[in-house]
A and B are shown apart, each in its own frame.
Chain A
Amino acid sequence: MGSQILDQLKRGKILDLLKTGKRIDGRSLDEQRQLTIETGVIPKANGSARVKLGNTEVITGVKIQLDKPFPDLGDKGILICTAEILPLADPNVEPGPPNEEVIELARVVDRGIRETEMIDLHKLVLIENKSVIGMFIDSSVIDSGGNLFDACSYASVAGILSCTVPKYEVKDEAPVLVEGVTSKPPIKTLPVSVTMARIGDYIIVDPTKDEESCMDARITITTNSDGNICAVQKGGSDGFTAEQLIQCSETALSVGKKIRKQLEQLM
């Protein structure tokens, strides 16, 4: 109850500022918060990254292991991205099974990386229909400061870029690990997600937690290196006009370019 009144006051303040073209933290409407990416933070993982996007912080680990392919996808390796918000990341998060917000977060991050075809899954096949390499990209939000979608997505991409894939040889119809030999994962493109919030008639890029608490609707758009739009997810309890959505798709491409440059440096 108390927080509802606070949210209303916050919304008033945020909207007043937006009318003058400003945001509460001084950014312009299409400006992202500072993004810092550190890789190799978990040496026991095959790849890892710690990403800070403003006050949001995420750690992603990539684990690679032998696996059986899905029955209907015998010519593809396995790629699974998950995400969770740890209880230490936010006073409102409790331990327990994931709620719908967390499930949506994990699925949107996974969809961005899957649909852009970042990894050439055919190259992860060792024996067709029998044995493939599985890549498990698990993200943990350790500090929640808004826009977990983009933070988890950047951390997952950075984790993948930093990872080394063990080499397997097929001997007598079975994969055998070759000690001491690794390679880079087969990367085809760099997915970049850009999340925008609508507050009143204003569209803002990379909303903070305060901005999210009073937004009308949200949209996450993931683009690939060729400038294609590959994944979209609308969220929030209100909608957008078609014109606003087309504007958002253009913003996702232009803002995404800057982020992609930063990620390219990790390659």
Chain B
Amino acid sequence: MVKIMTQLMTEDGIRCDGRKLDELRDISIKVGVLKNADGSAYIEFGKNKILAGVFGPRDVHPKHMANQDSGILRCRYHMSPFSVTERKNPAPSRREIEISKVIKEALQPAVILKDYPRTVIDVFIEVLQADGGSRCAALDAASVALADAGIPMRDLVSACAAGKVADRIVLDVNNEEDQEGQADMPVALMPNVGKITLLQLDGMLKPEEFKTCMQTALIGCRRVYEIQRKALMEKYFQSGDQ
């Protein structure tokens, strides 16, 4: 165990990929990358490469899923067979079904569905290459894609994880840290509303660490928000400084 920890972090808090404790991986977001989708985004978050496409509001199939009072949101998070080291079976796994559900529930508070009764908004997420934190990166792309589709929203949803590695709280857990570290906590935030719409944890944290870890993740979410905002500005107000 001790051996693994020295690999994950040096004495002075430099992580296995050279980052500081509170440093995000490189993030870039492109808006409107798909011709057929109503809205789309492509995100590179560290080694994650993820596409999100939004369709709708459109007719609901099957019809019985339609809600007379409100639109519905559907979400599919899917990993390509070539996205991980060992080939992944292309059929949706239980993990992917769970992640689809938590991503949908993280986006739902931001989308004003009441305006579109009897319709569906479909969010399709394809993870082309996966690194640690793919659900957060996927959410970040999906939220931007929804905005790109012109769907009325209360806020963007910005997601980022924090965790515990070698007894220290770190921002934005990468794949190695997720596998060997002590805790991983993905968080999604509506930054202007101040509402947390996704929170998961696996690992072991003291109550004090739980608070610090959540606060650390929230700082990450706010930084991601600035990148999302800038990406949207670049498409819609070319100067990028509006």
Question: Of A1, A235, A238, which contacts B102 at CB under 8 A?
Answer: A235
A238 to B119 alpha-carbon distance, docked (Å):
20
Closest A residue to B188 by CB, please name it.
Answer: A239
A238 to B198 alpha-carbon distance, docked (Å):
9
Binds A, one of B4-12, B13-21, B166-174, B206-214: B206-214
Question: Of A107, A229, A234, which contacts B207 at CB under 8 A?
Answer: A229
Question: Of A115, A237, A239, A253, which contacts B196 at CB under 8 A?
Answer: A239
Binds A, one of B92-100, B132-140, B143-151, B231-239: B92-100
Task: State whether the Cβ of B180 lies closer than 8 Å to any Cβ in chain A.
Answer: no
Q: Do residues A116 and B204 form an inter-chain contact, with CB atoms below 8 A? A: yes
Chain A contributes a number of interface residues (CB within 8 A of B) equal to 36
Q: Do residues A228 and B194 form an inter-chain contact, with CB atoms below 8 A? A: no
A265 to B190 alpha-carbon distance, docked (Å):
44
Binds B, one of A22-30, A152-160, A242-250: A242-250
Given A232-B201, A239-B190, A239-B196, A227–B102 Cβ distance below 8 Å?
no
Task: State whether the Cβ of A38 lies closer than 8 Å to any Cβ in chain B.
Answer: no
Q: Do residues B108 and A238 form an inter-chain contact, with CB atoms below 8 A? A: yes
Q: Do residues B198 and A100 form an inter-chain contact, with CB atoms below 8 A? A: no
Task: State whether the Cβ of A58 lies closer than 8 Å to any Cβ in chain B.
Answer: no
Q: Do residues A230 and B205 form an inter-chain contact, with CB atoms below 8 A? A: yes
Name A's B-contacting residues (CB within 8 A): 1, 4, 100-101, 103-104, 106-107, 111, 114-117, 219, 224, 227-242, 245-246, 249-250, 253
**Further contacts, 19 of them, CB under 8 A, given A234-B197, A242-B215:** A100-B100, A103-B94, A104-B98, A104-B102, A115-B201, A115-B202, A115-B203, A227-B207, A228-B205, A228-B207, A229-B201, A232-B185, A234-B198, A234-B200, A239-B109, A245-B196, A245-B199, A246-B211, A246-B214
